Chain A
Amino acid sequence: MSFFAPGLEDAFRTAAAELGMCSASRLFVREAASDGPDAVAELSDRLGRPFPVLDAVAAAALEGAPLRGVDPGEVLATLAGLRRLLVAGFEADFLDALVRALSGEVRVGLVRTAFLEGDWERIADNYAGRLELVEMAAFAGWAGPRSGLLTFLYGVEGAVTHVAPAWLRVAGDDVRPIFRELVGWDVLGRPMSLYPRWLTEVPAGSFTRLA
């Protein structure tokens, strides 16, 4: 007997496109956990290999680590003094918490590029005008000595971490010296144990700030 209806993978992919890989994983693991650890184990078994972020979130749950709310305090400290924050990659749980905590004087932008295409307008509408969508061709217009680039990290293991490929399209050698901060926010909190498909490995030391 399965805990899940057919179409589980399609459902997860849709959620990941709209929420981000880690946020969708948190949602699915939370829902599965309401049916007990066997449901989480089945979720991990069925979707872990195609979605290694989900595998890591499920593994943490199966080890007894509770899914906590997001505390943006640490990343907020890395953004002190910035007036513009441009985000590459999307994680709804985390960006929601960060945007709520940021001063209204800080402009927040989201680069319109992702490995799964969601409905960008709908995503931005959830932020009630606080989140500006920024085209790839225009993101350098956000540069400045009070500007930061932020992306989400999926675990840090020694000297390396994993990011959405969008980060590589944004944070090139020509862009690094026109933003004061290059911030990586680890949303997973543990390295993935399966092949990190969808994601790209980068040196953890390539960020000016880690949270």
Chain B
Amino acid sequence: MPPPPHHHRSQSAVTRFIRPEEIDALLEPWVPDAEDRRFLTRCLVEEGPLHHRGANFVLLRLLGELSRAVASGPERPAPGPGLPVPMRLPPHLRPDGEDDAVYPIRLPERAVERLAPRGSRDFDAIVDCLADGPPQHAVANVLMATILDDLLRRSGR
């Protein structure tokens, strides 16, 4: 008999379908450093609430499938200028340098510019929404925006 609609599956049922190495492979075109990828992969599918780990894996893998289906060759994406994805720190603990407390992935400005002109209030608000929050949100948002922007670019948009 199937479980009721809101029955929660066990923890092992969720972690079993998550394959971190597939997320690592998905990141590779945009994050060349293997240790950076390992860190981001952990943030995406191995930390935080279980349902986020599972959902991130599913959505990113599906985007990866789509990306492979659309790709015409081994062309390496050129994401263009990117914006930093800051870690969530208490406000009084400001980082020493530009890359001190940011995740090793950047939000492509071009993805945001598809929806709002650079420098506009909307542009800034979109960036804030995508890059804010713990990494199971922020890094996932940025990676999805990166892949979607790449797909649109390769579709001639």
Contact = CB atoms under 8 A, between A and B. Distances in A.
A145 B99 contact: yes
Nearest to A138: B93
B42 A208 contact: yes
Contact of A144 (B42, B88, B90, B101): B101
Interface string B70-113: 00000000000000000111100111000111111000000000
A141 interface: yes
Nearest to A84: B100
Given A140-B93, A141-B95, A143-B89, A177 B104 contact: no
A141 B89 contact: yes
Interface in B1-60: 35-36, 38-39, 42-43, 47-48
A176 B48 CA distance: 9
A49 interface: no
B64 interface: no
Most buried by A among B38, B87, B99, B136: B87
A24 B36 CA distance: 37
A208 B20 CA distance: 14
B35 A178 contact: no
Contacts of A80: 35
A178 B93 contact: no
A143 B87 contact: yes
Interface of A: 80-81, 138, 140-141, 143-146, 173-174, 176-178, 180, 208
* Top 8 A-B pairs, shortest CB-CB distance: A141-B93, A178-B87, A177-B43, A145-B104, A180-B39, A177-B135, A144-B100, A177-B47
Given A177-B134, A178-B87, 9 more contacts: A80-B35, A140-B90, A141-B95, A143-B87, A143-B101, A145-B103, A173-B48, A176-B47, A180-B39
